[in-house]
Amino acid sequence: MRQTTFDTSSHRAAAVVDNSGAGGPHPIDVHVGVQIRMRRKELRITQEQLAERLGLTFQQIQKYERASNRVSASKLWAIASALTVPIGYFYQGAEDPDSNGLPAAADFMLMPEGLELAATFPKIKARKIRRQILELVGVLGDEARAAG
């Protein structure tokens, strides 16, 4: 669905693409949103702080990160500048655009716990402990699947 909104910060009409239709967001849009969120978290910037830098609301940042709304090229440029990364950063590790699957990493990184775990796990220096944690999570996941 396409709707036009009025951007009061620039006094221009802007098209907003709503990706919540039947097919859901495109995997690349999801990937870009996850990359935005990961970089923002890496810099310890809140959604509110990023929104302020961009002249947006924090709700719009949420929509970009969740791929509810697509990020325009000009807005992605501004986000890259605010997060001090090149534009290509947001596409690194993206799947083939023709694939239908959402990468498991994207699902994981969209969860608050996933981001926290991804930030904390590398701080565990002992490889044996990291392996044991991975095995524990695997067992718990298997039990959850069996029960559910």
Q: Is the pTM of this model over 0.75?
A: no
pLDDT at 71: 96
The chain-wide mean pLDDT, for the chain, equals 80
pLDDT at 112: 77
Average pLDDT over residues 106-121: 78
pLDDT tens, 9-33?
443 434 444 444 557 888 889 889 9
**CA separation for the pair 134, 126 (Å, rounded):** 13
pLDDT tens, 137-147?
889 988 888 88
